[in-house]
A and B are shown apart, each in its own frame.
Chain A
């Protein structure tokens, strides 16, 4: 008997279930792309048959970090850049949970960049949504890791001398097994990509373009966008790492030249998730660890039985 009966619960799910009964006042500006992520999740989760109590949404700090204030799931609003290590441990402790981590481009690609690389490398079975608006929002418009070269802000008055980070390529090289980019202005694609990312058994990274109408007014609103899967101008195999890498490079460059390319870039269904790898080595229990503390029949191992080596 499970101590976590929300997990795998089979029941009718109302399409509004992920909207809180008493909703806090949104802190996002009118026209903010963050609403697009929220909407896509609210649609995707019930369509996947998930209930609010079996989903854990772990966020970082920034406008994006407020996601789980408006999405009615178990939530952990952590600290700047640290959503991934919190999220992946929760998944290790109870892999029945559907774990979704989210944060902004500063959060994920800047301060949390080390965790991003290593979580992708390890291929934890979880979804990571990065709200990429190419700017720091909540601290009022400073240059972020994905701001274009030359981006002027109060902290870079002469324009940024840095080339932007390439999020999709970084993710691929680090080891992510599902990499996609979508945009708030493309709600249907966003919902479908989020569904695929959640269903993917491994680290699924979605670079989600979320326009910032307040601090990035000059930037494109990410329209018109092109879906690389639907456009006849692009032909590559998402399962082919080399082709994916080329398409990512082109997509990342094109963004700064005014062309918004979106879609799925890399899908690898063959690589086992970290949990599976570790379980194969005998380093993760078969039953989720979190269940054991509720199992009255479990015979807990004792240090007394380890003393032979000390005698």
Chain B
């Protein structure tokens, strides 16, 4: 836990504008030269309900939400009471102040809106006593009246930001600039007045007892603040994807929305359709006709895509799907992260699966691996799934602007032009041989409807080289093996022609390894760094290639250590199971650290998991996690 960082939590009710306020504040911190990372917690409803965003900012790289927080701006939940005030839902109103208060670090700062939260409610919290015990510094302020005086009550957020900036001794310049970008006219003026009034009141009238100040930093180059959903959408754009079909579902909706908003200006097509079966089928139809196309959903919607996914495998139609996991089963916890859909995505749909699955570990990887997904899908005529989760979907972090300065890759891969088609194999009747038996890497190039002399039948039935339905055993074996051969060829290309999509960190000589996958990577990476700083010797890897599995890389990693702890956000150790299946051994070497309470890992929980794993077999973890010993234990 480092002292040179700020973890600012803004907490209020859903509908209080927490999201946009925090977005701008994160940008202001980024513009001031800091690295930032955001974590968003919200309930599955539109108005009311405790919601918060944490912004972690430091002068060094930040890869996770961090541990706890050290600044709380508690706005109170202004939607906790219904307008008639004749119903009261318990003490919801004060939740933004009371909930997870224990996670506020020692010496932390609290600003709360005494205009909304009643004295009695606050008194019930024993705030003074607890503040004394924990060394917290409490600054009540009537944000509500201040906002009302100069504008409207909803501008309480701005007052809160002004108070924050004063307490952290931050310059207002970046905050003002961002407000000017986002609004205008009277609204801008009112907000600026509120910002300054709050800032000056706190600066001039409050006695500062706290030590926390905004860190100072500098970037070598211009930064952009993006979420994992932005990165996936932008990876798709740069891969030449211009067709998306979907049906709204949290958290997948973000990618769908971003592309639906951008495609019209790029001559792309976005379709919101009747259900997810249609969504995947449309992407398939567009791809069949020669567009680079994608669809996606979250767990429940992805379940509906199982059949079109199988059809893409059988007809060898390029297709990219994204799956944004949330806590399941069934509707589960719609706005909470979990990594529980791995097996769903790997194996859903009838028959032997032949698909590619990537699980990016952070925002930059989300961009890179989405591009790679399109490359592989169109080169090898295979469905590729990018699996991520609510956490990566919504977390914002800064990335060098130059990272995106590269050439687009709009190629259709192994698709023939009409000229090439004339030279290509046709059967005696003149039909194009779309599914030839003996071809390099198992890839038989395709034609597109409307091309001269390229017609064939694509069918979900087993089929002959020209696509006719066929149950001939020899042909069946040929076609099956050719389709599966593509996975080997993809593995080979990933191993030999590209940088590994696995991310390695920690002490190379260590005897203890921590393996994780997908979006838990950042927290694990920080935990490993901390363990090594504390004198332990630990190495780690964040795995992204789920299928085809990076067998060589993972064998090397597991062989290089005595013990491996697999960290993932689910209850049944799905990735550990995949490792054992793919590597065919190491059951006695692999233990698990699992978390499935709807909150992503904090680095400290992984540190503790390591310590208990190594030293304290009988002790219970203090965090809401579970340790699953290796099979040999």
Query: Which residues does A use to contact B, with CB under 8 Å?
Result: 3-7, 9, 20-22, 24, 52-54, 56, 58, 61, 66, 68-69, 72-79, 82, 85-94, 96-97, 114-115, 117-118, 278, 281-285, 287, 289-290, 292-294, 298, 300-304, 306-307, 310-311
CB distance from B606 to the nearest CB of A (A): 30
CB within 8 Å for A7 and B450 given contacts A89-B271, A294-B417: yes
Tell me which residues across on chain B come within 8 A of A58, comparing CB atoms: 285
- Residues in chain A near residue B405, CB distance under 8 A: 304
Query: Is B264 within 8 A of A303, CB to CB?
Result: no
Chain A: which residue is nearest B230 at the CB level?
A310
B289 close to A (CB within 8 Å)? yes
List A contacts of B110 (CB < 8 A): none
Ordered by A's residue number, 12 sampled pairs between the chains whose C-beta atoms are within 8 Å are: A53-B455, A76-B315, A76-B457, A77-B459, A82-B278, A90-B449, A92-B271, A117-B274, A282-B264, A301-B266, A303-B235, A311-B225
A77 near B449 (CB under 8 angstroms)? no
- Pick from A79, A278, A294, A307: contact of B401, CB under 8 Å: A307
Task: List residues 459-486 of chain B with CB under 8 A from any CB of chain A.
Answer: 459-461, 467-469
Q: Which of A82, A89, A294, A298 has the most CB of B within 10 A?
A: A89
Given contacts A290-B290, A307-B224, contact A115 B274 (CB under 8 A): yes
B406 cross-chain contacts in A, Cβ below 8 A: 304
Nearest A residue to B449 by beta-carbon distance?
A: A74
- Residue contact B278 to A68, C-beta cutoff 8 Å: no
B233-272 vs A, Cβ < 8 Å mask (1 yes, 0 no): 1110110101101000000000000000011111111110
A310's partner among B224, B262, B274, B429 (CB-CB below 8 A) is: B224
B-side binding surface: helix, strand, loop or mixed? mixed
B498 to chain A, nearest CB (A): 20
Check B230–A93 contact: CB distance below 8 A. no
| In contact, A97 and B271 (Cβ under 8 angstroms) | no
A24, A93, A96, A114, most chain B CB atoms within 10 A: A93
Q: What B residues does A306 contact at CB under 8 A?
A: 234, 237, 262
Whether B264 contacts A283 by the Cβ 8 Å rule is: yes
Chain B residues lying within 8 Å of A90, measured Cβ to Cβ, are 285-286, 288-289, 449
CB-based contact A93/B468 at 8 Å: no
Mark B residues whose CB is within 8 Å of A.
27, 31, 222-226, 230, 233-235, 237-238, 240, 242-243, 245, 262-271, 273-275, 277-279, 281-286, 288-293, 307-308, 310-311, 315, 367, 401, 404-406, 408, 410-412, 415, 417-418, 427-431, 448-461, 467-469
Flag if B452 contacts A118 (CB, 8 Å).
no
Task: Specify which of A56, A85, A282 is in contact with B449 (CB 8 Å cutoff).
Answer: A56
Query: Does B262 lie within 8 Å of A300, measured CB to CB?
Result: no
A6 touches B461 (CB 8 A): no
A6 in contact with B451 (CB, 8 Å): yes
Given contacts A69-B469, A89-B245, A310-B226, contact A293 B271 (CB under 8 A): no
Chain A CB within 10 Å, residue with most, of B284, B289, B427, B458: B289
Known: A79-B460, A285-B267. A293 touches B281 (CB 8 A): no
Query: Which A residues are CB-close (under 8 A) to B427?
Result: 22
Cβ B431 vs Cβ A93 within 8 A: no
- Residue from the set B223, B243, B291 with the largest chain A CB neighbour count within 10 Å: B291
A-chain residues with CB within 8 Å of residue B458 when the two chains form the complex: 75-77
The answer for the CA separation of A86 and B264 in the assembled complex, in Å, is: 21
Query: Could you tell me if B448 and A303 are in contact, using CB atoms closer than 8 angstroms?
Result: no
B47 to nearest A CB, angstroms?
Answer: 27
In the complex, how many angstroms separate the beta carbon of A106 from the nearest chain B beta carbon? Answer: 16
In the complex, are the beta carbons of A292 and B448 less than 8 A apart?
no
Q: When the two chains form the complex, which single residue of B262, B264, B290 contacts A93, counting CB atoms closer than 8 Å?
A: B290
Q: Give the docked Cα–Cα distance between A22 and B229 (Å).
A: 49
B404 contacts across to A, CB distance below 8 A = 302-304, 307
CB-CB nearest in chain B for A51: B452
Least Cβ distance of A299 to chain B in Å?
A: 9
Residue pair B308, A4 in contact (C-beta under 8 Å)? no
Contact across chains for A24 and B410 when beta carbons are under 8 A apart: no
Residue pair B291, A82 in contact (C-beta under 8 Å): no
- Assembly CA distance A6 to B451 (angstroms): 6
Min CB distance, B31 to chain A, in Å?
Answer: 8
Q: Chain A residues near B286: list those with CB within 8 A.
A: 89-90, 92-93, 289
Q: B277, A85: Cβ atoms under 8 Å?
A: yes
Q: Are A94 and B290 in contact (CB under 8 A)?
A: yes
**Docked-complex contact A289 and B269, CB < 8 angstroms:** yes
> Is B450 in contact with A53, judged by CB distance below 8 angstroms?
yes
Give A246 Cβ to nearest chain B Cβ, in Å.
28
Residues of B within 8 A of A97 (CB): 289, 449-450
Residues of A within 8 A of B467 (CB): 75
Contacts of B292 in A (CB 8 A): 293
